Structure formats: structure tokens, C-alpha cells
């Protein structure tokens, strides 16, 4: 799927398609986007030191001052797409979890 085919919802940005694996991470590696386990080969592939997704990961745009103030006083909310990436991996025989990893272009 190309980026032209992938629609980015209003108020969100395509942050990127990659996250770095934690140093020393070894299989099994499980990848989650918003708590939903992803499928290797279909949703992502493992590189040497990174996870590469088949589509962009979406993050919420920065809020303007007016929008932030309207949320503060309860006039409006925010319902923009904001995805988080978590990894479950093994480090020295112990299962570890890395949460809300930085998404790279």
C-alpha cells in the first residue's frame, strides 16, 4: 500500500513507518499498535535493528492554543487518530515490554 492510497484523517499526521528495537532484544518479538497484536509479514517486517510497518503510523497533530483552551474549559474534545506502538521481546531470557515507542520516518 503506497502513502497515496493511505488516507490520513484530519487532525492526524503520518509520523513514519519504523520503530527501533530495544538494544539487546531477541525473539520472540511481538508488535502491538494500540494494543492490537500485528502480524509479521502482513503488518510489519523485522529489520536488523528495527520494525518496519507496511503502512504509516498515525499521530495526533499538535493542538493549537484555541483548541487546547476549548478542551480545558470543556467546550470541545479531541477525537483524532493517535496510534501507539508497543513491543514485547526477550532480553537475557526475560520477557520485557517497551511502550509507546518513538515512530521514525
- pTM exceeding the 0.85 threshold for the entire prediction: no
pLDDT band at 5 (very low <50, low <70, confident <90, very high): low
pLDDT in tens, 13-54: 888 999 999 999 999 999 999 999 999 999 999 998 999 999
Q: What is the 3-state secondary structure (H, E, C) of the chain?
A: CCCCCCCCCCCEEEEEEEEECCCCCEEEEEEEECCEECCECCCEEECCCEEEEEEEEEEECCCCHHHHHHHHCCCCCCCCCCCCEEEEEEECCEEEEECCCCCEC
**pLDDT tens digits, residue range 42-99?**
999 999 899 999 999 998 765 555 554 554 565 555 556 789 999 999 999 999 999 9
Q: What structural domains and CATH numbers belong to the chain?
A: 12-98 (2.60.40)
Amino acid at each position: 500500500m503506497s502513502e497515496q492510497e493511505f488516507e490520513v484523517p484530519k487532525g492526524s499526521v503520518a509520523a513514519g513507518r519504523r520503530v527501533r528495537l530495544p538494544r539487546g532484544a531477541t525473539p520472540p518479538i511481538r508488535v502491538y499498535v494500540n494494543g492490537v497484536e500485528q502480524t509479521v509479514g502482513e503488518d510489519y517486517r523485522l529489520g536488523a535493528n528495527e520494525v518496519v510497518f507496511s503502512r504509516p503510523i498515525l499521530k495526533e497533530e499538535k493542538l493549537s492554543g484555541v483548541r487546547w483552551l476549548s478542551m480545558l474549559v470543556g467546550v470541545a474534545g479531541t477525537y483524532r487518530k493517535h496510534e501507539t506502538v508497543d513491543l514485547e521481546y526477550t532480553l537475557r531470557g526475560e520477557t520485557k515490554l517497551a511502550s509507546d515507542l518513538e515512530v521514525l520516518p
